[in-house]
Chains A and B, each alone.
Chain A
Amino acid sequence: MENTWAVASLWMALALAASLISVRIGLSVALAEILMGVIGGNFLNLQTAPWIDFLASFGAILLTFLAGAEIDPVSFRRHLKASLAIGTMSFLLPFIGAGLFAYFVAGWGLQAAQIAGIALSTTSVAVVYAVMVETRLNETDLGKLILAACFITDLGTVLALGILFADFDIWMLIFVGVTIPTLWLLPKVAPWVIRNWGRRVSEPEVKFFFLILFVLGWLATSAKSEAVLPAYLIGLVTAGVFVHERALLHRMRTVAFAALTPFYFLKAGLFVSLPAIAAGIGLIAAFLAVKVGAKFIGVWPVSRAFRLGVRESNYTTLLMSTGLTFGSISALFGLSNGYIDQSQYTILVTVVIGSAVVPTLIAQAWFRPKVTTVGEGVVPLKPVAAGQEALSQDSADPSSVAGPAGQPSPEEG
C-alpha cells in the first residue's frame, strides 16, 4: 500500500514549485498548478487518492464560495439591468453554441455536449479583473459593469451545472427546501456569528461557514446536483458581509490557497493527456473559436444596445470570453461523473485555458481603452461619448478612446 505521506509529499512539492514559478513570472498560481498537474500526470505517474479527491473538492467549493463573495453589491445593484442582460447572453449563447457544436459537429453524446456547453459558457472574473487592474478600468463604471456581468455569467454556469444533471427526487426537495431559507437567513445571521463568536484563535466563524458549505454540499450531491452551486450562491448573498470583513475573507483564502486549491488544480491538470491534445488540436481550436464567436454574438449587440462604444464593446466581449476556474470545475465534474471521457476532458480543459489566454491578449493588444493623465496621477479613460450617461451618473471625464493603432509596441520583439 502506498505511503500517504509519500503521496502527500509529491503533491505538495508540485504545489510549492507551482507557487514559486507563479511568483517569479507573474503567472497565476492556478494556471501554474494546472501545468504542474499536466507534468505530474503525463510524466510522474501522479495519481489521486480518496483523501486527495476530498481535499480537491473542498478546494473547488471554497474557491467558488470566495468567488461569489467578491461581488461588489453596490456596483452590482447600480448596473443591474445592463449586467443582467450582458451576463445572461454571455452565458446562454456559448452554452447553446458549444453544446450544439459538440453534439452535431464533434459527435459527442448528449451529456458530454451539455458538459461542453457549461464548461465553455463561463467567464473568469479573476482573469478579467487582473486585466482591468492594469488599466485601472476596475475603478471605472465600464469596469464595474463588466465585472458584475461576469458574476451573472458564472451564476448561469453553476445553475446549469447544478440543475441539468440533478435527480428531481426527495433529495432535491430537501436540498431546495434547506438552501432557500439558508440563503435568506445567512446575510442576517453571519454578522451576528462574526460579532459574537469571531476573532478567536480557534476561528469559530470560519468553521461556521465551512459547516454551511458542507451541509449544503452534502444535500446537493445527494440530489445529484453539484456542491459548487450552493457555495456560489452563499458567496453571493454574503458578499455584503465580507465588504466589512476583509480579514476574515483573507484567512479563508489562506486556508484555500495553502492546503486545498493546490489539490484541486493539480488534479485538474493531472487528467489532461498530452497525446490527446496533439490528436485533438483541430477540435480544440474549433471549440475556442465557437466559444469566442458565441460570446460575440451574445455579448456584443447587448453591449452596443446599452450604448457602449465600439471599442468598449469589443473589449467587453473579449474579456467576457475568458474562462478558467469554473470551466475547469465543470469539466472535472463531467469527468468525475462519467459524462465525458479523458480525451473529451482534455479538449475542454485545454480550450478553457486557451480561453483564459487568447482573448485576454487580443483585448489588451488591440482594444484596450486608452489611459491618460488627469491632474495628479494616472486615471483611466471613461467610455466615449454617446450613452455615457447610461453607465454612470458621476462620470465626468469626456476623454477619447482612440487607441494608438499601428504604432510599434515595446512588447513586440
Chain B
Amino acid sequence: MAEPDLFKFVLIPFDGSVSSRRALDVGLGIAQAFGAEVALLTVEEYIPRFAGDIGEVKEEKERQNEYFAGIQREAREVAKLRGLDFDRADILVGHVAQNIVAYAKEIQCDLIVMGHSGRSGVWASFLGSTVEKVSRYAHCTVVIVR
C-alpha cells in the first residue's frame, strides 16, 4: 500500500504530445494513489524571437494561447474521467526546461511527472532534451515516462 504522505503535490508538464499524454495518465494515477494535488503546466516555446513586427509576436501568441488552451481542456477531461481536477493549470512562455524548473520550485511540488520526449524533436537531439535538463536541475523527484 502506498505511503500516504510520500507525494502531496504533483506537477505534470503537458504539451499535447504522445509522450506527455502518457505522462498525464501516470501522473494522475500517482496523484490518485497518494491523494495528492495536481498542477498542469504548458510552456509556449515558439513565440518568435527577434521579431521585426510586434504584430507577428502578438498574433503568434494568440494562436498558441488558443491551441494550448484546447490542449489543457483535453487534459482536464482526462482528469475528470478519473474523478480528479487540476488544482492549478498554467501556460507560460519561453524556455521549456527553465520554466518547468522555476515553476516547480515556485509551487513547491514534490514530484514532476513528464514524458521522455516532447515536441522539440530535432533540436532536442542536438541540444539535449528538456527531460535531461529538468531532471538535472529540478528541486524534487522527477519521474520520466516512456
A181 at interface by CB-CB < 8 Å: no
Residues 32-91 (chain B) with a chain A CB within 8 angstroms: 45-59, 61, 88, 90
A325 at interface by CB-CB < 8 Å: yes
* A250 cross-chain contacts in B, Cβ below 8 A: 55, 59
Q: How far is the CA of A224 from the CA of B116 in the complex (A)?
A: 60
Q: How far is the CA of A234 from the CA of B31 in the complex (A)?
A: 56
Residues 89-113 (chain B) with a chain A CB within 8 angstroms: 90, 92-95, 97-98, 101-103, 106-107
* B134 cross-chain contacts in A, Cβ below 8 A: 410
Q: Identify the interface centre among B46, B48, B123: most chain A CB within 10 Å of its CB.
A: B48
Once A and B bind, how many residue pairs between them come within 8 Å at the CB atom?
124
Q: How far is the CA of A256 from the CA of B53 in the complex (A)?
A: 11
Which 4 A-B pairs have CB atoms at the shortest separation, nearest pair first?
A: A30-B52, A28-B51, A134-B94, A126-B51
Which residue of B is nearest A412, CB measured? Answer: B133
Which residue of B is nearest A129, CB measured? Answer: B54
B128 at interface by CB-CB < 8 Å: yes
State which of A307-315, A335-343, A371-379 sits at the interface with chain B: A371-379
Q: Identify the interface centre among A28, A30, A324: most chain B CB within 10 Å of its CB.
A: A28
A408 at interface by CB-CB < 8 Å: yes
- Count chain A residues whose beta carbon lies closer than 8 angstroms to a beta carbon of B: 48
Give me the interface of B with A, judged by CB distance under 8 Å: 45-59, 61, 88, 90, 92-95, 97-98, 101-103, 106-107, 122-123, 128, 133-134, 136-137
* A127 cross-chain contacts in B, Cβ below 8 A: 49-51
Residues 178-221 (chain A) with a chain B CB within 8 angstroms: none
Residue of B52, B54, B57, B94 touching A261 (CB-CB under 8 A): B52
Contact between B52 and A411, CB atoms less than 8 A apart: no
A70 at interface by CB-CB < 8 Å: yes
Residue of B53, B98, B137 touching A67 (CB-CB under 8 A): B53
A362 at interface by CB-CB < 8 Å: no
Contact between A253 and B46, CB atoms less than 8 A apart: no
Residues 399-413 (chain A) with a chain B CB within 8 angstroms: 408-411, 413
Q: How far is the CA of A360 from the CA of B107 in the complex (A)?
A: 28
